[in-house]
Structure 1
């Protein structure tokens, strides 16, 4: 894991971070990690986002019959 040092945080901001961490039952460092992860992580996964786009455009119905034949086991020779 990488490390980041943040300098010159205003005292009021540091106090607010400590209070927020206490309210969530975490250390200040864990709270800052959570805030950063939530800020940069996508809210939805790619598949979920694509499905939502498809639904917003009316969706698509695919009529693909399932192949009833058994699948051969993979060989790793």
Structure 2
């Protein structure tokens, strides 16, 4: 297993991390591992733009568009008379 050292960590950030870890019943180290695992796992899932937009607005619910009135296909113009 590898280990890393994080230098120059802001005191406020460290405090938030300590509080979050305590609230979840974890050590600070375990909390950092969990956060890194979660964030990096999200990056691995490739979604296309359509899926991202759908997920963003799915909570609003869907709606139906009214049907569009269609005309019959017109005959192509004939230029034989020229």
Specify the alignment match of 1:20 in structure 2.
20
Q: State the Cα distance separating 1:12 from its structure 2 match.
A: 0.2
Larger radius of gyration, structure 1 or 2?
A: 2
- Provide the aligned C-alpha RMSD in A: 2.2
CA offsets per residue over residues 56-76 of structure 1, 9 Å max, x none?
Answer: xxxxxxxxxxxxxxxxxxxxx
Q: How many residues align?
A: 48
In structure 2, the residue corresponding to 1:3 is in which secondary structure? coil
Inter-partner Cα distance in structure 1 for 2:39 and 2:26: 18
Inter-partner Cα distance in structure 1 for 2:9 and 2:42: 26
- TM-score, normalised by the number of residues in structure 2: 0.50
After superposition, residues 1-77 of structure 1 pair within 5 angstroms as: 1-42=1-42
Point out where structure 1 has 5 or more consecutive residues left out of the alignment: 54-77
- TM-score, normalised by the number of residues in structure 1: 0.53
- Over 6 Å off, 4+ runs: 43-46
Inter-partner Cα distance in structure 2 for 1:41 and 1:24: 20
